């Protein structure tokens, strides 16, 4: 669809006038702002003039008692005062003796904590492959490194592959001499 040339000229002229009006309005608002004066949106100012006059008077009354300047001499005098000497330890309980049942509970020895479980091995069986001749191999990740292993191979100098089946890989931990079964993700 083609737009006639005359309409395009009028459209450009109209948009130019609108832009000039918006720029003039922006400059007028910028010049109206003065430091220390509240910036009020003109559209909301006309609807709530009575409430804003009450609010301005209330705010002005509240701020009359405050001095906006910082006086350093009195502050230095306050800082130079010695701290009060406290006779009590702020980390001690002062509220009197605790009830007797709390004393007897606090004196009873706590049961020994169970040893934490060993961390999970850094191994994960990822896949299984049967090679020609009946040899079995498995894909195992060790510390985010993928390794192809067969029965009898060492992984990371610590784990020895004992048995490989389509569903699990059995490895022996060299440190604890215990067998770990690693399920192969299906």
Query: What pLDDT is attached to residue 133?
Result: 85
pLDDT reading at 82 higher than 80? yes
Higher pLDDT, 70 or 65: 70
Query: What pLDDT is attached to residue 39?
Result: 54
- Nearest by Cα to 153 from 175, 170, 166: 170
Instruction: Provide the edge-to-edge strand list for the sheet that holds 159-164.
Output: 154-155, 159-164, 168-173, 179-183
What's the pTM? 0.39
What is the 8-class DSSP label of residue 152? T
Q: How confident is the model at residue 23 (pLDDT cuts 50, 70, 90)?
A: very high
Query: What pLDDT is attached to residue 33?
Result: 79
Query: What pLDDT is attached to residue 59?
Result: 65
């Amino acid at each position: 669809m083609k737009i006639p040339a005359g309409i395009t000229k009028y459209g450009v002229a109209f948009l130019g006038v609108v832009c000039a009006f918006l720029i003039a309005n922006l400059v007028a608002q910028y010049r109206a702002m003065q430091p220390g004066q509240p910036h009020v949106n003109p559209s909301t100012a006309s609807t709530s003039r009575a409430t804003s006059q009450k609010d301005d008077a209330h705010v002005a009354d509240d701020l009359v008692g405050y001095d906006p300047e910082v006086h350093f001499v009195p502050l230095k005098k306050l800082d130079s005062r010695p701290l009060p000497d406290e006779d009590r330890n702020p980390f001690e309980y002062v509220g009197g003796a605790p009830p007797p049942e709390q004393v007897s509970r606090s004196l009873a020895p706590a049961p020994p904590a169970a040893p934490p479980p060993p961390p999970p091995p850094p191994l994960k069986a990822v896949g299984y492959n049967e090679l020609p001749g009946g040899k079995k191999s498995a894909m195992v990740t060790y510390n985010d490194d993928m390794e192809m292993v067969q029965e009898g191979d060492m992984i990371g100098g610590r784990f020895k592959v004992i048995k490989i089946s389509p569903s699990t890989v059995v490895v022996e931990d060299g440190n604890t001499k215990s067998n770990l079964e690693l399920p192969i993700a299906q």
